[in-house]
Amino acid sequence: MTADTHGAGAADDTSAVAVIGMAGRFPGARSVTELWRNLLAGKESLTRLSTAELESEGVPAALHGDPDYVPVRGLLEAPCDFDAGLFGYSPKEAQLTDPQQRLLLESAWEALDDAGYGGTRTSTGVFVGTSFNSYLLHHIVNEPSARDDIDFLQLVLGNDKDHAATRIAYKLDLHGPAVTVQTACSTSLVAVHQACQALLGGDCDIALAGGASVQLPQRTGYLYSPNGIFSPDGHCRPFDQDAHGTVVGAGAALVVLKRADRALADGDTIHALIRGSAVNNDGARKAGYTAPSIQGQREVILSALRAARVDPSSIGYVEAHGTGTELGDGIEISALTEAYRQYTAETGFCGIGSVKANLGHLDAAAGVTGLIKAVLAVREGQVPPSINCTTPNPEIPWAETPFFVETHARTWEAAPRRAAVSAFGMGGTNAHVIVEQPPSWPVSDTPEKGGPAELVVVSAASRGAAHELSAAISQHLAEERGPRLSDAAFTLQMGRKHLRWRVAVAASDPVECSRRLSEAQPQEATRPPTVAFLFPGQGSQRAGMAKDLYAYCGAFSSALDECVQLLYKETALDLLPLLLEEGAAFDAVLRRTSAAQPALFAVEYALARQLEHWGVWPKVMLGHSIGEYTAACLSGAITLPDAMRLVTARGRIMEAAPSGAMLSVLAEQDSVAALLPADLSIAAVNAPEATVVAGPEGAVERFAVLLAERSIPAKRLRVSHAFHSAAMDAALPAFHRVASAVSYGKARTKVVSNLSGEPVQGFSADYLTEHLRQPVQFSRGVATVMRMPNPVFVEVGPGRTLSSFVLAQNRDGAVRTCSPMAANGSADAYETLLTTVGELWCSGVNVDWHSIRTGRRTALPPYPFQRGSYQLGSATPRLGGVVPEAAAPASTESDIASQLRELWRRLLGAVEVRPNDDFFALGGNSLLAVRLVALLGKNLGVTINLDDVLASPGFQGQLELVRRRRSSV
């Protein structure tokens, strides 16, 4: 019988789910990459604690000296450290939040970044769970200063499991279902199943699934019990003849999931496909509540196979639950064999192993950790060894099963590579998942669109983190097998959350981009800026000024084409060759006012449309002479056809006026006016000490000599006429007739006038006629814009002339300017434009990244969390034996135990719990009562008088906390 209906890598059906991102922290590994390296090396990442380490955690010598005490644990590095600032936590709030939930927050951030969906607005679901919250008991309850000022609701929100998923959704602004999953050690694999169902059912577009488990204090061991689940020697040996139990480990892991067809269509990085999954419960078909069930495991495996529609003979590896217990290992192999026998009689074709041998039992994080191992195996075509299995358990009839223990790493060449993952929770909730190698990405020979340069943007919540992340990405880009620059740029633009400390560089070569990124200094985007578009006037034009932008910018080329066509209808002049080709002949044509003014208008208009297409919208606009027409058109006051008609007529009429000259004088307007002869006019005031005069050629020459005699710097401008002077008087009637035939509307964006330096109250034929004649009050206009909050000036046109005027007026250096177009053709125009967009983004402008680039999301270095220590109080009880932190000299260990046992019996009624037979056993509410006993022992110096204890304020306060907790639930 066969159920296989899919070929390798098929992702075009709607039943498969893609794993597109992963993140985690594990014993001996700070990332998924380190975990994989350790697994391939067959590394056991468990720590055998020294006597000094145990004593530093307060484990009494009487306990860790017991021959049954095993000082081994799978440790997580600094589990209470946390980047509180990144997630908006106050130090107090961070201290009062379960570290498991903090770990999930950081892992969720990192996993979404890994998938390229950090900061996404897509509907994202969250399905996570945690283990028992020992932090509440060992740290918060044990810290008197914390108990005195803790609001009970705050305590619940930070420590109740119910908030594990919703806290992630809130802090990361995720809008899909947020569900906390709790099924003991199958928690995170059940979460994966629920996430898959939510995706396939349309509840969300992306889903986070996983779990976290940290039992505090970490640096303790446990008391071995022959009837328990823990190993007698601190080694977990799944499927070995000497398998006698597992070891406690800590960790947190999450995967990012998406429907496979959509992931493929969106160009996501797919690590593996989840072909099918299933969840069930044993019910009462087993020896006891904590016992495993062959029937339950068999049924969940069969359900997953049916959901995946694959033949189990195509599955080459099973990542087992594999706790390394005599009973559990045998039942697991029996259940798998019974399920597979319904499809195939083959034997010995499928490897089996368990990551618990390497890390210990990660409880709520165990299932997703096993899934990550399986995902990496099918992706990389390598199966890591299952360590600590010297001789497979002879009680299991291996030769009669489809399975063999993966005792050595092997290359996995079969296609399609498929693996299965099991997680069986104490209490009977079972989960099974089938994964498959990722589909092959189609290789396209089509060159990338958009131009040679790419804009790489990096951001972080602090300057230090921005430096670290920039350095990491810089190094990554410079690597020989680094990502494509276009993919890296797309991922950073679209797949990372944009924070306030920012770096942006543009380059066309990865190595050059790496260098620039390493040298860039982060800028702080403190508040949204007032973006002011500046449009330059005649004199800044040059032949070929639109060449690169026309080739690489779609919105620019479309707008420019529209302007060119309108001009051609008016004059039969084809502007396009002048704007796209360089050469002396073209420059000569553009020096003519009749060509220069419509050419400048067309380029400025097109460049503004490109910036707006990318999301850069001005709040105010200021033009210089002809540049004000561009502002008026973009504001909506004048339509584009009318604007082209006006600038064409203006250029033609002004060119017909008598010739003249213009002189730029580096002096204040009043000083220049005092020296000005009657035949010259003030034509423009560009800055406090930048005044332009205009008039007849001879008069301008004589005035230049006068200025030189007085050591006043002056420079002739390259113009053929005396614009904005008396020389234009004869042109005014003809222009007024043209301007009167145009309809004028209300400006939707504020335009600052050249006439007054204040916002234009309304455009009209009279206004534009006066505008042609009167001096350009550009400096006044700049002063008006500078009074607006946080202004950023963008010179939308060729050159940086207007930017220099702004900077000359910017006395305190607080105002920023940028120029999207180079002054000449020496620089890469598209790269210059991208650099400007990057500068604007660094200043706080919200860029529409969707419109800039399409590409593939790719893996990049993770966010460098700036963690601080947020551990509240100190712990006294220890896993495996809850005893006072220190004994009074006059007391013996047996005396203390006797007194505490008596107190334990007295406490039962108060806290409404049933003790286990062994006082030192842990679990659930029993641990709470034990914690109270231990706390009382510590507070009373260990020597306990029962009547005094029961009456003590500390004890009564603890009981009240318990009662409040129970009544709220």
789 exposure class (CB count in 10 Å sphere: 0-12, 13-18, 19+): exposed
- 3-class SS string, 711-776: CCCEEECCCCECCCCHHHHHHHHHHHHHHHCCCCCCCCCEEECCCCCCECCCCCHHHHHHHHHCCE
Nearest to 219 by CA among 938, 882, 879, 935: 879
In angstroms, rounded to a whole number, what is the distance separating the alpha carbons of residues 160 and 660?
82
Which SS3 state, helix, strand or coil, does residue 890 take?
A: coil
Q: What six digits make up the tokens of 271? A: 């690590």
Nearest to 505 by CA among 492, 517, 495, 515: 517
Quote the radius of gyration of the chain (alpha carbons, Å): 37
CA-CA-CA-CA dihedral for 367, 926, 929, 895, to nearest 10: -120
Identity of the residue numbered 284:
A
Residues with catalytic annotation? 185, 321, 361, 625
Inter-residue contact 964 to 957 (CB < 8 Å): no
Q: Give every CB contact of residue 641 below 8 A, 6+ residues apart in sequence.
A: 566
Q: Give every CB contact of residue 352 below 8 A, 6+ residues apart in sequence.
A: 239, 317, 318, 320, 322, 333, 336, 386, 403, 404, 405, 406
Identity of the residue numbered 227:
N
Q: For the chain, what's the residue count?
A: 969
Q: How far is the CA of 377 from the CAs of 322, 438, 902, in angstroms?
A: 17, 11, 54
Q: What six digits make up the tokens of 60? A: 């009494």
Strands 868-869 and 661-665 turn out to be: unpaired
Give residue for tokens 């034996």. Answer: 881
Q: Which residues lie across from 456 on neighbouring strands?
A: 505
Inter-residue contact 243 to 353 (CB < 8 Å): no
Q: What six digits make up the tokens of 536? A: 């330059």
Q: Give every CB contact of residue 333 below 8 A, 6+ residues apart in sequence.
A: 239, 352, 396, 401, 403
Q: How far is the CA of 419 from the CAs of 239, 270, 304, 320, 370, in angstroms?
A: 18, 16, 12, 10, 11
In angstroms, rounded to a whole number, what is the distance separating the alpha carbons of residues 905 and 291?
29
Nearest to 349 by CA among 384, 299, 400: 400
In angstroms, rounded to a whole number, what is the distance separating the alpha carbons of residues 179 and 127?
5
- Please report how the helices 953-968 and 152-159 are oriented relative to each other, as an axis angle in degrees rounded to 10: 60
Q: Which residues lie across from 693 on neighbouring strands?
A: 663, 682
Inter-residue contact 176 to 206 (CB < 8 Å): yes
